[in-house]
Each structure stands twice: as C-alpha cells, then as structure tokens.
Amino acid sequence: MPRIRSPLRPGDRAPDFVRIDQRGSPFSLYERLCGRPSLLVLCPSLDVEAAELLSGLAERFPPESGVGLAALRLHRIPPAGGLKDLDPEKVPVLADDGTTIETYAGNAKPVGNMAFALDPTLRIAAVLPANRGLGELTAEARDVLDRLPRRAARKLALIAPVLIVPEVLGAGMRRQLTDSYGDRAAATGGSRIRDPVMTAEISARIERRVIPELVQALHYPATHFESFRILCRSPAPDAPSEASRPFFDAAAGRDAPQGDFLLALSLNERDHEGGELYFPEFGPDLYRPPAGAALVFSSLLLVRSRPVTEGRQLTLVTGFHRTGRDSHWET
C-alpha cells in the first residue's frame, strides 16, 4: 500500500489493503468494491452503538442497491462475539492493527466513527463523520453517492497509453495560478513558477495525487520532478487548421519539460476552444482532461495539439525522473 500523508481528503485515491473479515477470510478492498460506489466505515471501537450503525447501514445499502459496504475495526476491540449478528456478505468487518486506519484517518485510533464515500474508481468523494446518527449519515451518504457522475461503458478499439489523473489541483489553486501567471505566460508563451509557497503546494498535490498513480498504473516510482511551468496558447492567424503543432512549442529550448514521463495539467479547460492533445501513433482521438486533471504520458510518445481557436489555454507542465538533483520532491 503506498504511503500517503494522512488524513485522506476528497479527491485522493483510497489505498488498497487486504484484511481479515469476521469469518476469518481475506478481504481485498479493490477486488471487492472497485467498479461501484461504496462506503468504508472506520470504527476504532466496535461497541454496541457502532455495531447498530453498521447493521443499519447494511439494511439501507443492501447488495442489490449497487453500493458496496465495508468496515474497519481495531482487531483487539471488541471480542469476536460482538460481530455475530453482522452478515459478512452485507457488511464485512475487517480486523486492522491500526496501520490502515491511520493511513485513512491520520490517527491509528481516531475519536469516533467516520465514513469514506468512494466513487466507482475508489477515489474519495467525501469524508463523513459517523457519530450523528444512522438517519443523518444515510441521508448524507445517499446525497454524495447519488451526485457521482454516471458514465456508460464504451467499446474502445485503440487508445494511447496515457494516464489521466482527476482532481489534482482544486479550483482555488488553479485560480491563483491563472491570476498570478496567466498574463505573463500569455506574453511569453510560457512562465516558470518561482514562488516557493506555490511551488510547495503544487508539489504536495503532485506527491499525493500523481506519484501513487505512476507507481500503480505505470510501475514507475518517480523520485524527482522538475520545476513547474505554465504554458499559454492563444489563437494564431497562421496556425494550421489540422492537428499538427507540437504541444511544447511554447516552451521550446531549455524551458521545455524533460523526463521519462511528462505531465500536462489543464488550468482553465472551460475558457478556451481547441487545444486538444492527440497522439498520432495511436490514432486521431483527442484528449481534453477537465480543469484540474493531469494527463501523464511517456516522453517517447509523439504528441501534437490542435490549434486554440478561442480564448487562451493555460497548462501546467512538468517532467518526472527517477534520479536527479534539481527537484522539488524526493522519495
């Protein structure tokens, strides 16, 4: 399980774990819950009140509801007899020595029960205090889970080997970046972020949201990433109508990001038209992640971008390395 600074917050991926349920059988979070919205409840002490809470949740979110349900408890509290009325098929209660609970809550024994609402990709949608009664928790959980985006499955014939990481930067941080660097980037085509406070905040988000995905999806344990740059692309009279411009034209020369993998994070996806990326080695499909999401891809891939036809496109870029000295993050 990747070590992530806790407590976890909405937008973070829920770390995987394998723990033993009340039957003595192993339970894998990803194998059991991935693909459907779920609730993971942390119970530092499974007393009568907590047992009633879990029993009530099992009634309100049965398997046929399509909502997954699981609970974590400290394994020494209470004795196994306290679990006899909880059906492991409806609500598996998993023994934990405190390490998983600490990863999620930031404390090996948090004060009171808490619940994590997870989307079908097992990213955290909300953190819900679970000490306010079953009815209030159920209503809040249903509201969160009902508002999760619904996406129908598509048949894909060929896609580029890229990774899209959602919600890396929030709206407030994106607004601060565009206000501070947008005009400067527009005047020069690209601007390096030199503010140490902002650099530290972005670095913390990259470490928390992107680095674990590189390890899990691409088996690439990055140890360093480069200074951050903001690229700006605007409509140009001489821009070709077809998708043919190199994406990093605006950061040519020594300012172009390097590395084994590159990151392009959209800061203002709704403020411009055009500018989509595509990878001609893998077909004509266009990639346009939503604002705050990062597109990560190998630096060996040929990447092109369509012209920006309206507004201005601001993109945060950096490169990842396994070794190096000039970096803002290191394992």
Burial of 111 (0-12, 13-18, 19+ CB in 10 A): exposed
Last residue of a domain, one of 146, 171, 187: 146
Q: Is residue 6 assigned to a domain?
A: no
Domain match, 60 and 171 both: no
Q: Is residue 53 assigned to a domain?
A: yes
Report yes or no: 185 and 193 within 8 Å, Cβ to Cβ: no
Overall number of domains in the chain:
2
Q: Residue 138's domain is classified under what CATH number?
A: 3.40.30.10
Local mean pLDDT, 10-residue blocks, the chain (331 residues)? 65 92 90 93 82 90 92 66 75 90 83 89 92 89 92 84 94 94 85 92 94 92 91 79 62 67 93 92 92 95 90 93 60 37
Q: Is residue 215 assigned to a domain?
A: yes
Beta bridge mates, 230: 191, 316
Domain match, 314 and 170 both: yes
Residue-level pLDDT at 83: 65
| Rg, the chain, Cα only | 23
| Angle at 318 (CA atoms; ends 315, 319), nearest 5 degrees | 145
Domain match, 139 and 197 both: no
Domain match, 239 and 101 both: no
Domain that holds residue 39: 18-146
Domain match, 224 and 100 both: no
Domain match, 175 and 272 both: yes
Residue-level pLDDT at 239: 65
Structure-token match 């942390």, residue found: 42
Read off the pTM.
Answer: 0.81
Q: Is residue 13 assigned to a domain?
A: no
| DSSP H or E run through 213 | helix 211-218
Q: Structure tokens of 87?
A: 């059906």
Q: Is residue 225 assigned to a domain?
A: yes
Q: Is residue 327 assigned to a domain?
A: no
Cα end-to-end span (Å), the chain: 15
Q: Is residue 329 assigned to a domain?
A: no
